[in-house]
Amino acid sequence: MENLKDQIKLLVELQGLDTHIFRLDDELESIPAAINKKEEEFKEKNTNLKKLEDELKALVVKRKEKEGDLATKEGAIRKFQQQQNLVKTNKEYSALRDEIERAKADNSIIEEDILKIFDEIDAENKSIAKEKDFLKAEEAKFGEEKKRLAAEEGRLKGELEGVKKQREDLAAKVDKNILKKYERIVKNKDGLAVVALKGDACQGCFRVLPPQVANEVKMNEEIIFCEYCARILYSEE
Ligand SMILES: [Zn+2]
């Protein structure tokens, strides 16, 4: 074929454009996954706040329990004091006095516990406020990242459109039968149909071909396929 050399040249160019298109497709496909990953990471960061809020709830419950205990004891003290007014003997009186003393001592321990819980609640609230600030910043970062990825997606789509147009124009120049063969190989061979022969090695499968193949490729009389991977060979010279 007189113009086979030109046809092969066109195929090499076409392969370059297709490789570019595949790469852009891959990059475009990776963007939603990248956004999902960022979102998962952000959600993961929210679990610490949930933990802190649960801790706070538990502390409030504990405080209410202690306050209940305190009220019960105070009720008991009042009851003892009323009984004190009714007793007849000193012995009964001092027994009640001892009960009152004990209950008061218990109550001061409970009061201390309650104060301690108040401190813990304060600290927990501070941690929660800090965590919320952190998450707000993280959310802003996540938003920025999403915006950046959306911009990147737009840029890639624009680039893809341009390359596809170039590809269309170029494909129109290729002989129909040769184009059909090329496209079949592209489909079956992971997007790589046209490969150079370097020395005697096919640059598609990297196997060494018999020495006469290099001559056949250089002659450009017919399309030469790699006998191992069936790709179209061309000479870089
Ligand atoms: Zn090969």
63 in a domain, yes or no? yes
Whether residue 66 is found in the same domain as residue 136: yes
Whether residue 193 is found in the same domain as residue 142: no
> Higher model confidence: residue 237 or residue 76?
76
CA of 47 to the centre of ligand 1 (A): 53
Rg (CA), the chain: 41
Crossing angle of the two packed helices 4-86 and 176-188, in degrees rounded to 10: 30
Final residue of a domain: which of 126, 141, 173? 173
Final residue of a domain: which of 173, 194, 213? 173
Alpha carbon distance 119, 123 (integer Å):
6
CA of 191 to the centre of ligand 1 (A): 14
CA of 221 to the centre of ligand 1 (A): 19
CA of 208 to the centre of ligand 1 (A): 8
For residue 145, what are the contacts with CB-CB under 8 A and spacing of at least 6?
A: 38
Do residues 202 and 189 lie in contact, with contact meaning Cβ atoms separated by under 8 Å?
no
Q: Is the pLDDT of residue 136 over 90?
A: yes
The total number of structural domains in the chain stands at 2
Domain that holds residue 127: 22-173
Residue 46, domain CATH: 1.10.287.1490
Do residues 178 and 7 lie in contact, with contact meaning Cβ atoms separated by under 8 Å?
yes
CA of 237 to the centre of ligand 1 (A): 18
- For residue 5, the SS3 value is helix
pLDDT attached to residue 159: 98
Q: Which of 187, 206, 184 is nearest to 195 (CA)?
A: 206
Whether residue 165 is found in the same domain as residue 227: no
- The pTM for the full model equals 0.74
Mean of the per-residue pLDDT values of the chain: 96
State the average pLDDT over residues 186-209: 96
CA of 193 to the centre of ligand 1 (A): 10
pLDDT attached to residue 33: 94
Whether residue 181 is found in the same domain as residue 169: no
Which tens digits make up the pLDDT trace of 143-172? 999 999 999 999 999 999 999 999 999 999
Alpha carbon distance 151, 202 (integer Å):
39
Whether residue 200 is found in the same domain as residue 157: no
